[in-house]
Amino acid sequence: NVDHVAITINMIDPEVGERIYPWVAWRGKRYSGREASKILSEQQLAGLAALTERKILCKVNSVMIPGINDEHLVEVSRTVKGLGAFLHNVMPLVSAPEHGTVFGLTGQRGPTPQELKA
């Protein structure tokens, strides 16, 4: 039986999400832009709610991306806690180009230690 789950939720606002996720695949179709991030957020939050209703312990991880979702993470935290997450863990973006991530390759910086403490 599953008794705990970790979920990554980097945004709940589709306007923020479209800057993180260029597209999502859902029900056999590819979506882009704000519509994509709206679908993703709705499904993530519905999944979190369904898990916590079944008394499954849920930890939510978020990656802090400076200038994109850093100021939005307080709202994410309130929302996921309200849906029953027992912990919201904010992690720094790993943005070194050698890791090959989109953010690393486009020059997006990771958060400073001060930004992570805020």
Q: Is 54 part of any domain?
A: yes
Is the predicted pLDDT of residue 102 greater than 90, yes or no? no
In a domain, 109, yes or no: no
35 within domain boundaries? yes
Q: What is the pLDDT of residue 95?
A: 85
The answer to whether residue 112 is domain-embedded is no
pLDDT exceeds cutoff 80 at 118: no
- Between the two ends of the chain, the Cα-to-Cα distance in Å is 37
pTM of the predicted structure, to 2 decimals: 0.90
Tell me what pLDDT residue 98 has.
86
State which residues form the domain around 38: 4-92
The answer to the question of residue 21 being in a domain is yes
Predicted confidence band of residue 61 (pLDDT cuts 50, 70, 90): very high
- 117 is a domain residue: no
Note the pLDDT of residue 116.
Answer: 85
Strands ordered across the beta sheet of 4-8: 4-8, 57-64, 87-92
Q: Are strands 4-8 and 23-26 parallel, antiparallel or unpaired?
A: unpaired
pLDDT in tens, 22-57: 999 999 999 999 999 999 999 999 999 999 999 999
* Residue 41 resides in a domain: yes
96 compared with 27, residue with greater pLDDT: 27
| 9: amino acid identity, one letter | I
Q: Domains in the chain: how many in total?
A: 1
Whether 9 is covered by a domain: the verdict is: yes
- Residue 18 above 80 pLDDT? yes
